[in-house]
Amino acid sequence: MPQSYDLYFASSNIHKFREAKKILEDFKINLGFFKCELEEIQSHSLLEITKGKALQAFKKCKNPIIVEDDGLSINSLNGFPGPYSSYVFKTIGNKGILKLLNQNRKAKFISIISFHDKKNLEFFESKVYGIISDKIKGKGWGYDPIFIPSESNKTFAQLKNKNELSHRFKALKNFSNWYLGK
């Protein structure tokens, strides 16, 4: 018998889904994976990119969905890679990022969750401030081995409780409060 979900997470990225599923379990929201490649419009605005992805995903999935767009924003690089985080990770990766930095290592991770169903199109944004480590620390996906949140001296990859303090957790918490009260 097919399992029924409260809503779907539309993404090509299984790591994002796994974390989102775990986080939403604590809010008693049962999240399914709708694996798909979503075209990203060219924009400097994560919000505009997320909105485009949510509209496409709802058309494809025909069920209530959330999509998430993230960006790592590095102060000394004027916010780069920002909306280009996925492309930059695939091209120069963490080693390439480390080579671009010197003293000022301040950065933030931004998540925008967008929820879309027949009635609503809603956005929930959150940020986590931190620094970029001086070398790769720990084994994790994406930028986890180089991002140290300010509450800690370990990278996301080294932390056991990333899901309790990440940009994704904070945005999903805001989403859940709205979703459960709607």
116 near ligand ITT, judged by CB under 6 A: no
Supply φ then ψ for residue 51, to 5 degrees.
Answer: -60, -45
Coil, strand, or helix at residue 169?
helix
68 near ligand ITT, judged by CB under 6 A: yes
For ligand ITT, the closer CB: 69 or 148: 69
- Looking at 7-15, 22-30, 58-66, 118-126, which segment touches ligand ITT (CB under 6 A)? 7-15
Coil, strand, or helix at residue 175?
helix
| Unique residue bearing structure tokens 């986890």 | 144
**Residue 69 bears catalytic tag:** yes
- Measure the CA angle with vertex 85, ends 81 and 88; round to 5°: 80
Determine the distance from the C-alpha atom of residue 161 to the mean position of all C-alpha atoms in its chain, rounded to a whole number: 16
For ligand ITT, the closer CB: 1 or 38: 38
Exactly one of 7, 16, 108, 126 binds ligand ITT (CB under 6 A); which one? 16
Which residues of this protein are in contact with ligand ITT, per CB under 6 A?
11-13, 16, 38, 68-70, 85-86, 89, 141-144, 156, 166, 168
